[in-house]
Structure 1
Amino acid sequence: MTYTAWIVLTAALVGLSCGLVGVFLILRKTAMMADAISHTVLLGIVIAFLFTKEVSGPAMLIGGIFAGLLTAFLVQSLHSLRVQHDASMGIVFTTLFAIGVILISTSVGNAHLDVQHALMGEITFIPFNTITLPIIGQIPQATALLLVVLVVVLFFITVFYKEWKITSFDPALAASLGLPVIAMHYIFMSLVSITTVASFDAVGAIMVVAMLITPAATAYLWTDKLSNMLALSGLFGIISAVAGYGVATWLDTSISGSMAFATGVLFFISFLGSPKHGLVAKYVRPTSVVS
């Protein structure tokens, strides 16, 4: 594959994985947890680096999962102490992200890990860092990791589809039916953390947040059926990746920023024109007259 094809494929995998996971974030009304976790995983990555001296590999995933679960636990703990949920997220993610930034500045040294890299990623360097796999041959390490993460995401969504569906729409009913609501929550937060960490190195925190929230929110405008929403969200994530790369090439600007911009354009078009919840449809839809 060409240099461009690897970049687009890697970004499309980010869009697909984040799009699928983002649907449940939207349905659970915890979309901003994506923003929180996408920043706090920096702390997990830095801690993993301090132990392993590597900026990639399984240790990064473990560190990211730890940071994601720590974020979810601290947010839930503060909320249980009657701190507002949005305030809890703001307090936790800014504090943990700040600790990560301080550790980068004071302990990491000359490693390829900095705040700019954390925010915007280095997707243009992805094709140069390769590994050799049986049958497949040489493939960028980030692409291989994202392929594995996509399989994990599909596996967990398939296995826990019914559980996450009912806990997303009606947690009280799920608890009354004996479903482990808290366990399901932390399993899902682990999945969000894995997806975030795998995407983090390639595209940075800004695009991760955009891909976790906006494609799912766009899909929500088109359908009320969960299976259709999952398919559309993944599709919108892929379209945003491809279109964003085209915009970045045309304007000679940030690839990750352009892809995040493309998610916003798709949402705006859907907000205006979707036949179900679009702004135009609400005005032209005939109103029923009660006689």
Structure 2
Amino acid sequence: MTYTMWIILTASLVGLSCGVIGVFLILRKQAMMADAISHTVLLGIVIAYMVTQQVSGTGMLIGGILAGILTAFLVQMLHSLKVQHDASLGIVFTTLFAVGVILISTSVGNVHLDVQHALMGEITFIPFTTVEIPLIGAVPKATALLTVVLILVIFFIIAFYKEWKITSFDPALAASLGIPVIFFHYLFMTLVSVTTVASFDAVGAILVVAMLITPAASAYLWTDKLMWMLILSGGFGVLSAVIGYWIATWLDTSISGSMAFATGCIFLFGFLLSPKHGLISRWVRPEAWKEEHVS
């Protein structure tokens, strides 16, 4: 496979994983949790480096996952103490991210781990770090990791589809049916953390947030059915990766930034032209739109 195709494939895997997870973030009204976790995993990654002295590997993954779970726990704890949810997010993620930045500046030293790399990633270097896979050959390490993460995400979504659906739309009903809502909340936050950490080194925090939120928000404009929303969101993530790479090549600019920009363009297209919620649909068929939304 060519250098270009490895980059597009890696970004597409990020789009698929984040797109599917992002649907439930949108439905649970926890979209900004993606922003919080994508920043606070920096603290887990830095601490993992301080323990293992390695800038990749299992230690980094575990550190980032634990930081994501810690973020979800602290936000939930502050919210239970009557602090508003958005305020809880702001307090936790800025504090933990700041601690990570301070540790990078004071304790990590001269290694390939800095705030700029954390925010923007460096997807152009992905094809150069490979791992040998039996029957397949040399595969970029990030691509292999993201493939495993995508399989895990799809497995858990399918295995607990009914539980995710009920806990997302009506947590009170889920609790009355005996579904452990808190368990599924933290399981979901773990999936968000795993997806974020796996994508973090390759594409950076900005693109992770864009892929977690914008494709799902775009899919929400086109359909009200959960299954189709999952399919569309994953598809929009892949489309954003392809279009974003083309834009970056055309303008000779940041690949991750261009892909994030592409997610916004796809959302704008749906915001204007989607048949149910599109702005133009309201102008063209105002009466039909009013009837549908009033009823």
- TM-score (structure 2 length as normaliser): 0.97
SS in 2 for 1:221: helix
- Give 1:269's aligned residue: 269
Identify if the C-alpha distance between structure 1 residues 86 and 286 changes in structure 2 by more than 3 Å, giving closer, same or farther. closer
For each residue in 1:116-136, what CA deviation from the matched residue of structure 2 results, as whole angstroms up to 9, or x when unmatched? 000000100000011111001
Match of 1:139, SS? Answer: strand
- Hey, what's the Cα distance between the residues in 2 that align with 1:91 and 1:140? 37
SS at match of 1:287: helix
Letter in 1 for 2:56: S
State yes or no: 1:139 paired with 2:132. no
Q: Which residue of 1 aligns with 2:169?
A: 169
RMSD: 1.2
Match of 1:54 in 2: 54
Report the equivalent of 1:243: 243
Q: Deviations over 1:86-116 (max 9, x none)?
A: 0100000000000001111111111111000
Cα separation, 2, equivalents of 1:176 and 1:21: 25
**How far off is 1:280 after superposition?**
1.1
Aligned to 1:122: 122
1:42-121 paired onto structure 2 within 5 Å: 42-121=42-121
- The amino acid across from 1:90 in the alignment is G
1:16 is the counterpart of 2:45: no
Could you tell me how far 1:141 is from its partner in structure 2?
A: 0.3
Counterpart of 1:274, as a letter, is: S
Q: Distance in 1 between matches of 2:271 and 2:125?
A: 35
CA separation in 2, counterparts of 1:191 and 1:253? 31
**In structure 2, distance between residues paired with 1:148 and 1:222:** 29
Distance 1:113 1:94, change over 3 A: same
Query: Is there any run of 5+ residues in structure 1 with no aligned partner, and where?
Result: none
Q: Offset of 1:287 from its aligned partner?
A: 2.0
Q: Percent identity?
A: 78
The residue aligned with 1:25 is: 25
Within 5 Å, which residues of 2 pair with 1:111-260? 111-260=111-260
Secondary structure of 1:132's aligned partner: strand
Which consecutive aligned stretches of 4+ in structure 1 deviate over 6 angstroms post-superposition?
none
Provide the C-alpha distance between the structure 1 equivalents of 2:84 and 2:182, rounded to a whole number of angstroms.
Answer: 19
* 1:54 positional shift: 1.1
SS at match of 1:138: strand
1:7 aligns with 2:16: no
Cα shift at 1:26:
0.2
Q: Does 1:280 align with 2:276?
A: no
**Per-residue deviation, 1:286:** 5.2
Aligned length: 290
| Structure 1 counterpart SS, 2:104 | helix
What TM-score do the two structures reach when normalised by structure 1?
Answer: 0.98
1:27 and 1:117 map into 2 onto residues whose CA distance is 31
- Aligned to 1:33, the other structure's residue is in SS state helix
- The Cα shift of 1:250 comes to 0.3
Q: Distance in 2 between matches of 1:260 and 1:69?
A: 25
Residue 283 of structure 1: CA displacement?
Answer: 2.2
